[in-house]
Amino acid sequence: MNAPASTTRPELAGHPHFHYRDGVLHAEGVALDKLAAELGTPLYVYSRAALAAALGSYRDAIGDRPVLVCFGMKANSNLAVLKEFARLGAGFDIVSGGELQRVLAVGGDPSRVVFSGVGKQAWEMRAAIEAGVMCFNVESQAELRRLSQVAHEMGQTARVSLRVNPDVDAQTHPYISTGLKENKFGIAIESALDAYRLAASLPGLEVVGVDCHIGSQLTDISPYFDALEKLLDLISQLAEEGITISHLDLGGGLGIRYTDEIPPSPKALLDGVFARLQARGLGHLHLVLEPGRSLVGNAGLLLTTVQYLKHAEARNFAIVDAAMNDLLRPSLYEAYHGLRAVRPRQGDEQEYDVVGPVCESGDWLARQRRLSVQEGDVLALESAGAYGMVMASNYNSRGRPAEVMVDGDKYYVVRQRETLADLIRGESTLP
């Protein structure tokens, strides 16, 4: 990896499918300056090989252990991404009827789908039962009753896990931490036994699993094991009551490298989990994982073009054509995304805030980065494959970006750029 010195960081750590060749950033075999010229910016670019490699690191870690990887598709639900994972044998973690529709649209196997989320509506439950999903991850007693009623009315049985909130601190950003008592997610571990008794008593339900998801972008592995120990206690208690659990779902959450993080590997996670299962005599349990970010985050970039350079008294601004509506993570979580010039220049570097055109001071993409740039230069925001396009909006009546998938030296537009006509479709004025 021979990244020129004039970009923001010395190397593209952890992003082997994006590299410099002859002074130009490439995705696999495709030069990104040409891609930007042809398709315009802002543009999301994904690497097919990077997707396969990320899933491959889970598969290699799994070996012949009974583990189902259900891609947490909220991280990136483009059909081309889903199709690739379906083809490679992954299942899916869905959180809405809309996500179910996407899985079915790419021929995903419903028997490898888990349905998560705190607010499932009756129509979504019906659609998922009809499709034959593997399991509902239920988050409250009220939801258990609703699901029981829906399934019973359909003359069907819905398989359920209860999402248990183990009250562990995932030590991540408060907005993406979900396993603490004060979060809206799951059923408190102290009430879990009662909820299971209810589930076992209701018609139309079959209890099959225990589920948790403690947070996202975890860079420390110990919270997983803290949560796991609590869930294993619960599984033993359930067994004493005659409630048999066949699978354990540990959710998603493995972090990725945005800057200098060293997140735990799938192997470290799985080895630790199975060692603990074995130690408790629970080695027969099937494991479900719901990774989102770690399967797609570093498989995508967002390309953007510098519109203007503005040298204000306190700061230098590079005003680019992407904005918070295209990539919300910096504004929402003060998230760091690596930034590189697609064709780095050798000239003097200055410190810039890279900001978008949206009318909000919070509309920034990168802050205090040393860059040598000119108007018209194309920049790449790294690690944008997860929670990028899926969180894009039309704020300021901006069309959402196009998405393209690179495969070797070929590329495919997998979502068209939204047009101005798209933006007003469905609206009307009064007669």
Q: Is 291 in the site for ligand LLP (CB under 6 A)?
A: yes
291 is in an annotated binding site: yes
Q: Of 44, 52, 40, 49, nearest to 414 (Cα)?
A: 44
**CA-CA-CA-CA torsion sign (310, 315, 318, 321):** negative
Other CB atoms within a 10 A radius of the CB of residue 123 amount to 10
Other CB atoms within a 10 A radius of the CB of residue 128 amount to 25
Q: In this chain, which of 15, 26, 213, 230 binds ligand LLP, going by CB under 6 A?
A: 213
308 is in an annotated binding site: no
CB 390 within 8 A of CB 55: no
- Ramachandran quadrant class, 151 (left: phi over 0; alpha: psi -120 to 50; beta: rest): alpha
- Active-site residue (options: 70, 135, 212, 359): 359
To which residue do tokens 């495709």 refer? 30
Dump the DSSP string for 232-283: HHHHHHHHHTT----EEE----B---SSS--PPPHHHHHHHHHHHHHHTT-T
Q: In this chain, which of 42, 263, 266, 292 binds ligand LLP, going by CB under 6 A?
A: 292
Pick out residues in 322-351 that bind ligand LLP (CB under 6 A): 329, 333
Other CB atoms within a 10 A radius of the CB of residue 174 amount to 11
Q: Is 75 in the site for ligand LLP (CB under 6 A)?
A: yes
359 is catalytic: yes
292 is in an annotated binding site: yes
223 is in an annotated binding site: no
Per-residue x/- mask for ligand LLP, residues 373 to 412, rule CB under 6 A? --------------x-------------------------
**Shortest Å, Cβ 378 to ligand LLP:** 24
Q: Is 253 in the site for ligand LLP (CB under 6 A)?
A: yes
User: Which uninterrupted H or E stretch holds 423?
Assistant: helix 420-424
Residue 341 CA to residue 355 CA, distance in Å, equals: 15
Dump the DSSP string for 356-402: -SSSSTT-EEEEEEEE---TT-EEEESS-SSSSGGG---GGG-PPPE
Per-residue x/- mask for ligand LLP, residues 77 to 106, rule CB under 6 A? ----------------x-------------
Pick out residues in 29-68 that bind ligand LLP (CB under 6 A): none
Query: Which range binds ligand LLP by CB under 6 A, 102-110, 290-298, 344-352, 376-384?
Result: 290-298
**Shortest Å, Cβ 30 to ligand LLP:** 26
The pair of structure tokens assigned to 62 is 């799994």
Full 3-state SS string of 86-142: HHCCCEEEECCHHHHHHHHHCCCCHHHEEECCCCCCHHHHHHHHHHCCCEEEECCHH
Q: Is 167 in the site for ligand LLP (CB under 6 A)?
A: no
Tell me the residue type at 174.
P
The residues near 163 (Cβ < 8 Å, ≥ 6 apart) are 116, 137, 138, 139, 185, 186, 187, 211, 212, 213
Q: Is 160 in the site for ligand LLP (CB under 6 A)?
A: no
Q: Is 176 in the site for ligand LLP (CB under 6 A)?
A: yes
Pick the closer one to ligand LLP by CB: 183 or 246: 183
To which residue do tokens 């910016």 refer? 41
Q: Is 76 in the site for ligand LLP (CB under 6 A)?
A: no
To which residue do tokens 């495919």 refer? 412
Query: Which range binds ligand LLP by CB under 6 A, 23-31, 288-296, 336-344, 371-379?
Result: 288-296
Q: Is 116 in the site for ligand LLP (CB under 6 A)?
A: yes
411 is in an annotated binding site: no
DSSP 215: B
**Shortest Å, Cβ 239 to ligand LLP:** 25
Pick the closer one to ligand LLP by CB: 74 or 398: 74
Q: Is 251 in the site for ligand LLP (CB under 6 A)?
A: yes
Pick the closer one to ligand LLP by CB: 14 or 72: 72
Q: Is 180 in the site for ligand LLP (CB under 6 A)?
A: no
- Provide the binding-site residues for ligand LLP, judged by CB under 6 A: 72, 74-75, 93, 116, 176, 213, 216-217, 251-254, 290-294, 329, 333, 387
Residues involved in catalysis: 359
Q: Which residues line the annotated binding site for substrate?
A: 293, 329, 333, 360, 387
